Each structure stands twice: as C-alpha cells, then as structure tokens.
Structure 1
Amino acid sequence: MFLRSFSRSLMELKLIAAVAFLLLSATVAADYVRPQPRKTLHFPLSHNPSSHPQQVHISLAGDKHMRVTWVTGDKSSPSSVEYGTSPGRYSSVAQGESTSYSYIFYSSGKIHHTVIGPLEHSTVYFYRCGGQGPEFQLKTPPAQFPVTFAVAGDLGQTGWTKTTLDHIDQCNYDVHLLPGDLSYADYMQHRWDTFGELVQPLASARPWMVTEGNHEKEVIPFLKDGFESYNARWKMPFEESGSSSNLYYSFEVAGIHVIMLGSYTDYDEQSNQYRWLENDLSKVDRKKTPWLVVLFHVPWYNSNKAHQAEGDDMMAAMEPLLYAASVDLVLAGHVHAYERSKRINNGRFDPCGAVHITIGDGGNNEGLAHWYIDPQPEWSVFREASFGHGELKIVNSTHAFWSWHRNDDDEPIRSDQVWISSLVSSGCVAEKRHEQRKMLLAP
C-alpha cells in the first residue's frame, strides 16, 4: 500500500513538473528575446577631393522649396546647386550661403546651405553640389494625400543604427521625422562628420526634418554656447515659419501641419518659443490642413523608469495650447524604447486629446531602457524596449495608419499598429471652437 501510494505521488509530482516545464517553456518562447548591443561604427578616411560634396542632406524650406546642405574641405568651393528633372541635364542653378565653426581643436569644413525651387510636387530631381563630384537625386513630397513619414529618434552611429536606416530605406516614405539626438557626437566633432556620411544615402534623397535633443547641446561653460554644431550643420526652415530660432519651427506637407518644438530652450508663457507657438497655431487652417502633428525630444507621457517626469514642466506650459488646437499626434524621443498612448490630455484619457508616441529607439550607443513602471498606466496602450522605427501614413483627411517596426535579427517586424482618426473628422475641433467662443462672449 505504501509503495503504491508513493509511486502514485511520484507520478503526480512528475506530471506537475512536466506541466510546469511546458508552461514555463511557452512563456519563455512568447517573450521577445532582444538581440545583443552592437558596437559603434567606424568609418574609413575619405580619399575624395576636398572640393567634392560630403554629408549631403536635404530639408524642406517653405512652399515648393528644398534646402540642400553639404560640406567641403575646400574653403573656396562655391555654394551653388545645379538641378533638373533629367540626369546630367541641369536646367536651373541656385546660389546659397555657407558657414563654418571651430570647436576647441576642431575646425569644420565649409558648410553650404542652398535653397532650390520652386519645385514640382511628387517629382524626381537630379542635382549636383558646387559643380563637383557625383550627381544626387531627390524626390519631392506629394501635394495631396496619401503622405508617408518615416520616424526614428535617438539614432547615433551603431550597428543597430545601420539596421534602422536599412529598414527605413525599404519604406516608401516621403519625409523623415527625427525628434532629437542625431549623431551622439557628444563634443567629439568628427563624429558629426561621420554621422553625415552615414545618413547621406537616405538624407540626400528625401527631406530630413529634425529637432534638437540633449546630445546636441554640447555646452562648454564660458567657452561655447549650446547647439553650435547642430545649428551650423542642420539648418531647418525656422525663418520660413516665422521663428527666431533653429530650435523650433513648423512646415507643411500636403494636408499636414508639422510643428517641431525645442525641449532645451525656454518654453514658459513668457518665452519666445511659447509666443511663436501661439502665433503659429493661430494660422493653421484645419480645412486646408486637417492633420496637426507635433514633435519634440523629451516625452510628456512616459511609463518607462528612464527620464521620468523630465517633460513635466514643458507639458504644464504647452499642453493646454496643443489641446486647444486639437493636435492629433505627438512624437518624442529621449527614452530609448517605444511606447504608444491612448488619446490623452492632462494625464487622463480624452477623446479630443493627442495620441503620444515615444520612439527614441533608433539605435544609439547607450542601449535600451528596459525598465517600466508597474502596473502599466491606464493611458499606455503598447510599450517595448527594442530598437526600431515608425511609419506614419496619412491616408486621407480623416484617417492615418501608424505602425512600429521592431529590429528583429535585421528584419523589420511590424509589432504595433493602429488606425488614427483625425480630430477634425471627430468633431473635436468644432466643439473646442464653440467652447472658446462661449468663453469670449461670457460676461
């Protein structure tokens, strides 16, 4: 009897152990196993003539215009761009400006900025910089929906950065949006040069619209103000949008108004940025531009333990402006992970609030932010610490499709996706305007 009971108990223990093992195996298999970090990229010395263009990238510069930026070692190289719609045949030429800067023992090359246009929409142009070197080609964004944006922040220069760029290159996108932390040069100015070379294949073909992050600061007390390298190399259309600073500006593509804000310049109600934002929002015609998208570096809604509450002051100052203007989508970086929220305002779900997305996972050398706050906040829909990129396709005036693509063993795996309805189509814009009128007319 004892042996029979013992045998039965032993069999039950084995069965329990087997079931536990299977459950554990299933759980482990269901979890995404993140690949190992990758090393910082190293670049061979260039043997091209010093008059040849390097680090070529383009950006939007007002209606139907594009800014071409490049660097030459030859200080006498002209800031001219020849361009046309046929290879090797340039029907137009534009003259631009140039700048340079010194940073301790480093001296930059000649940095050229030349605006070309007017350009036709959805058209391929061939161009040559300074009359020297290879021919490049670009495609202008469309005049109508659909429009696709590639989104990746906190890029850096690692093996994962290269993978992210390769995945973006597979996307049929019109404009790249980068919410801060570009090169991770971190005072080593030659790393700005290598970053320019790394992104040139993509950034010379589609406009890259960027805003600054903390790694662009590069302040040296009493010697160097912040953002000198960034401002010299990545000139954005701040003047074209009525801004007094390259750290915040706006632009439009088809029916989308995009605002790039600065997390590292003054943003309180007395600041130039706040006043500019008020003025810029007041000019947006939601009948012509039904979509309103905002980017900045430090996220306002973040359930990751990294960089907790760093965006609170900016949110307290500016979220009421964005909410009153019915901003559809807010994109941020800084946290090296991905997270998407519900529509939210003032910390709570609000059907007339913005969707907030953190996408600081481009591939930087600091690694991923693995730790999240538990339990997951009610407003947080999806979060994961993996490298990747996002794609935002504005399909029409009422619907957009967002997807996030994780870097999984060098393959872009769509891991999160959602359809987003514009606030214009939901009636939120009209409702808020009605409330504003009531407040103005109130005794």
Structure 2
Amino acid sequence: MGSKLVFTLCLFFIASAVTAAADYVRSRPRKKLEFPWSSKPASFPQQNFQVHISLAGNNHMRISWITDDKSAPSVIKYGTSLGRYGSTAQGESTSYSYLFYDSGKIHHTVIGPLEPDTIYFYQCGNQGPEFQLKTPPAKFPVTFAVVGDLGQTGWTKSTLDHIRLCEYDVHLLPGDLSYADYVQPRWDTFGELVQPLASARPWMVTEGNHEKERILLFNDGFESYNARWKMPFKESGSSSNLFYSFEVAGTHVIMLGSYTDYDIFSDQYNWLKDDLSKVDRDKTPWLLVLFHAPWYNSNEAHQGEGDKMMMVMEPLLHAASVDIVLAGHVHAYERSKRVHKRKPDPCGAVHITIGDGGNEEGLARKYKNPQPEWSVFREASFGHGELRIVNSTHAIWSWHRNEDDEPVKTDEVWITSLASSGCISEKSDELRRILRAS
C-alpha cells in the first residue's frame, strides 16, 4: 500500500510540474523607460555618448559615437594598457536633420589591425571617459548573443541585463532597434541605454520596419538608422548599409534587408549571389543569415509578410547550404527543424524567430493550430538567444526566457553544420545554376 501511495504521489508531482511549465503566465508589456541623466555631465562638458562598436573588415573595428560639439574631432586613441594609448586613428563624421530635429555630430572611426581575443582600451575624441572592448576570437569556439525587437522598456532592460551575463563575443540584432518611430530623441536614449554593452562587444544589426521612418515627400526612410548604425557594407562589397556580410571565427554571417528591394534584378539579390559565390566552407564552415521578417512563422502575427522575399531568396540560400536563419518582427520565440519549401528537409536551414527583446507593443500570444510539422518549439515570452559555435561541425543554441527578471533556459538544441554533411556536394550543381542565372 505504501509503495502504491509513493508511486501515485510521484505521478502527481510530475504531472504538476508539466502543467506548471505549460501554464506559465506570459509577461505583460512594460512601460517605456525614462532617462533622467543629463547629456552633458559636469565632469565632461564635451561629452562623448552613445558609444557602440561593430566589426569593420578583417581585424578591424568601427567605433561610433555622438557629440554635441560640432568641432569635436573624429579621433580614437587606443591600446592594450589602461590609460596608455599606443595608436591613434582618424575617422569621419556625419549628421542629419529630421523635420524639427538636428542630430549631434555622429563619428565613425575604424581602428586596427587588432589582435583577436584581446582587450583594448580606447578614448573617443581625445577626451572623456575611457572605454574597453574585447575583440572576437580568431578560431572556435565563438559565442553570439541574439535578440531582435529590443525597444526601450522595462523588459528591454531585463533582456540587456541577461545578455550582460552571457560571455558572448558578438551581438546579432535582426532589426527593430530603438522603436523611435519618427521621434528622433528616442534614438539618443536608445544609444545611451545600450552603450554599456555595445561599447564593449561588437553589435551587428540589420534594419526592421521600425527603422523605416519614411515621410512622403520629406524623407526616403532609414536616414536615422544609416547615420547612426554604420555597418561594414563597403567592406563586404555591398552598395547599401541595409545589407552586408562579415566573418568571425569560422563563421560567415549575412545580414539582409527585408525592407529594401530583393527581387532577382535588385542590387541586394545580385550582391547576395556574389557574396555567396565567395564563401569558402573550408575556411568558414558555418553560414548564418539574418533579416527581420521571418519566412517560417506559425504565429498569427505578421503572417505571410516574409513570403515574397522567401519566394525569391530561399532557393539561393538552400543551394548555398545556409545553416541557420535568424529573424525578428514577431514578438515571440519559435524554432524550426531544418526546413525547405515549408517541409522538413535535412539539407535545409534551421529557422529561428527571436523578436522578443522587450518592445512596448507586447507579445504575440496567439499561435496557429495545429502546429506545423516543421515547427519544433514556440513560446510567447520575452527573452534572448545564445549561439555557441563549438567547432567546425557542432554548435549549441539556447533560448532564455525572461521569467520574473531572471533568465531561464527554456529551449536548447545541438546543431550540426551542413558543411560536415553531404548536403553541400549534393547541391553544388544547384548553386552553380542559380549563380550563373542573370
């Protein structure tokens, strides 16, 4: 009798645990953050603010910042010892006006060549506080923090706090950064919000729909984004800051634009063909692609918005044996099996939607049922992802839910690279045919 009772109690507790996980109460939106700090602290009357860094070609880093002083130099002093700068780099600057708003002087300065996996100290504009950054490793392992649709809310702060705990090398952001939505000072507060992280590790971003900010007859769109977040598009042979690529530690990463032309006659499509033709899977066995509007989405939100881009570009990405596709836009999390043409395919890409950074619009809570065959895991919660590429053949992906301000690892999977399978040789003819097409 006693053993039956124990067995029954065990079943009860197991069932309760499963029910608790299934019945997890999703977090509600949080209000926009207020920013009480002054843009000109007394200790630094010519303040350098909104400092962030990005990769800028082989062994180089671009440092971006803003000053109110229009005469401030676009100079970076840097070195490997605190307070001792052995190198100096001169950069460029820009500014923009948007209706009644005038930006500060926006500086972009490239430093390098830099040693991999090394801490550098740097100072912007010959004065002000000292910052430090860490360059990514030259070889595996390498870790990417991934999150889209950040915004500037209490949940955004939780997400950034959790990313801070992750020992990542590069941050990947597939669109919707500040949610300024035409209110230009919100770009400034966003820059200040992310500066502690973005000044220390490279942030590689692509545009989302909230970056468009187009005003008919007055503004063509993306002016604020392009001026503030300059990415290595020229270094990768692209004609636009809205699409580019870069390489880090055995990984080739392609950032595409969901909101610029992508048809087969477009600059983006032809640049993508050229970029893929140069990928060496012996040198970079991992191939990642990011854009904003997901192609594989079983949430009721934003259904079909990526279909046109998918129709044009999925054949090319499949032929090139892309390993992982990361998207945002839908304010929830979803991970697929390897998939192609809406069906599981062992030579297709793993698609991950991670537009759950913490924006004020809230979560996309409704999913379509039944769950598609290609969909493995889906949940409407705020959070962030971590992709640790361990070696040339294996990587581990994990998603961390923001639960009561604590990061809780809720989904995890090992992924094997297509470069270590027979998929690349099987699809070589397919890739050559597409690359030759006009």
Pick the TM interval, shorter chain: over 0.9
Q: Is the 8 A contact 2:144 2:172 kept in 1?
A: yes
Letter in 2 for 1:68: I
CA deviation profile, 1:146-184 (whole Å, cap 9, x unmatched): 000000100000000000000000000000000000000
Deviations 1:112-152 (A, max 9, x none): 00000000000000000001110000000000000000001
Q: 2:63 aligns with which of 68, 79, 93?
A: 68
For residue 273 of structure 1, give the secondary structure of its aligned residue in structure 2: helix
Contact 1:331 1:356 in 2 (8 A): yes
Check conservation: 2:335, 2:378, Cα contact below 8 A.
yes
Alignment correspondent of 2:23: 31
Query: Structure 1: how far apart are the matches of 2:27 and 2:350?
Result: 29
1:149 maps to 144
Q: How does 1:347-362 map to 2 (within 5 A)?
A: 347-362=342-357
Displacement after TM superposition at 1:37 (Å): 2.2
1:404 pairs with 2:399: yes
The one of 26, 29, 32 aligned to 1:40: 32
Tell me the matched-pair count.
420
**Among 270, 278, 285, the residue aligned to 1:283:** 278
- Structure 2 Cα separation of the partners of residues 439 and 110 of structure 1: 44
CA separation of 1:113/1:439 partners in 2, compared to 1, >3 Å: closer, same or farther? Answer: closer
Partner amino acid, structure 1, of 2:59:
K
* Aligned-residue offset at 1:84: 0.0
Instruction: Tell me, in whole angstroms, the C-alpha distance in 2 between the residues paired with 1:26 and 1:259.
Output: 39
- d(CA) in 2 for partners of 1:274 and 1:393? 29
The yes-or-no answer on 1:267 pairing with 2:259 is: no
In 2, the alpha carbon distance for the partners of 1:439 and 1:334 equals: 29
Does the aligned pair in 1 maintain the 2:92–2:108 contact within 8 Å? Answer: yes
SS of the residue corresponding to residue 418 of structure 1 reads: strand
In the alignment, what sits opposite 1:223?
A: 218
**Matched ranges for 1:171-320 at <5 A:** 171-320=166-315
- Residue type at the aligned position of 2:264: E
SS of corresponding position for 1:280: helix
Match of 1:428 among 423, 427, 436: 423
Instruction: Give the distance between the partners of 1:302 and 1:346, measured in 2 at CA.
Output: 13
Q: How much does 1:30 deviate?
A: 4.2
Partner residue in 2 for 1:372: 367
Residue deviations 1:1-52 (CA, integer Å, cap 9, x gap): xxxxxxxxxxxxxxxxxxxxx9899846741112332111010141324522
CA gap of 1:75–1:345, structure 2 versus 1, over 3 A, is same
What CA deviation, in whole Å up to 9, does each residue of 1:36-71 have, x standing for no partner?
321110101413245221000000000000000000
Change beyond 3 A, Cα 1:164–1:281: same
Give yes or no for contact 2:316–2:434 (8 Å, CA) kept in 1: no
Separation in 2, partners of 1:266, 1:437: 23
What is the rounded CA distance, in whole Å, between the counterparts of 2:430 and 2:17 in structure 1? Answer: 56
Q: What amino acid sits opposite 1:393 in the alignment?
A: R
Q: Which among 67, 79, 83 is matched to residue 84 of structure 1?
A: 79
Note the C-alpha offset of 1:431. 1.5
- TM-score of the pair, normalised by structure 1: 0.92
The alpha carbon displacement at 1:90 in A equals 0.1
Whole-angstrom CA distance in 1 between matches of 2:320 and 2:171: 24
* 1:326 matches 2:314: no
1:260 deviates by 0.1
CA distance in 1, matches of 2:308, 2:397: 28
Contact 1:50 1:72 survives alignment (8 Å): no
Amino acid at match of 1:238: F
* TM-score scaled by length of structure 2: 0.93
SS at 1:277 equivalent: helix
Question: For each residue in 1:79-113, what CA deviation from the matched residue of structure 2 results, as whole angstroms up to 9, or x when unmatched?
Answer: 00000000000000000000000011110000000
User: CA RMSD of the aligned region, Å?
Assistant: 1.8
Quote the residue 1:14 is aligned against: none
Structure 2: distance between partners of 1:350 and 1:120: 40
Bigger radius of gyration: 1
Judged with a 3 Å threshold, the aligned counterparts in structure 2 of structure 1 residues 232 and 50 are, in CA distance, closer, same or farther, namely: farther
1-structure distance, mates of 2:60, 2:30: 38
Contact residue 29 and residue 361 of structure 2 kept, 8 A: no
Asked if structure 2 preserves the Cα contact closer than 8 Å seen for 1:127 and 1:135, the reply is: yes
Asked whether the equivalents of residues 28 and 362 of structure 2 are also in contact (C-alpha less than 8 Å), the reply is: no
* Equivalent of residue 330 in structure 2, options 294, 319, 335: 335
The AA in structure 1 aligned to 2:28 is Q
% of aligned pairs identical? 77
> Which residue pairs with 1:392 in the alignment?
387
Compared CA separation, residues 129 and 438, structure 1 to 2 (3 A): closer
Partners of 1:392 and 1:28 lie apart in 2 by 27
Listed as ranges, the gaps of 5+ residues in structure 2 are 1-13
CA pair 344-364 structure 1, distance change in 2 beyond 3 A: same
Q: Counterpart of 1:414 in 2: which secondary structure? A: strand
Give SS of 2:427's match. helix
The amino acid across from 2:46 in the alignment is S
Q: Deviations over 1:310-354 (max 9, x none)?
A: 000000000000000000000000000000000001111110000
Question: 2:8 maps to which residue?
Answer: none
Distance in structure 2 (CA, Å) of the matches to 1:439 and 1:270: 13
Displacement of 1:435: 5.7
Residues 29 and 235 (structure 1), Cα distance of their counterparts in 2 relative to 1, 3 Å cut: closer
* Counterpart code for 1:289: T
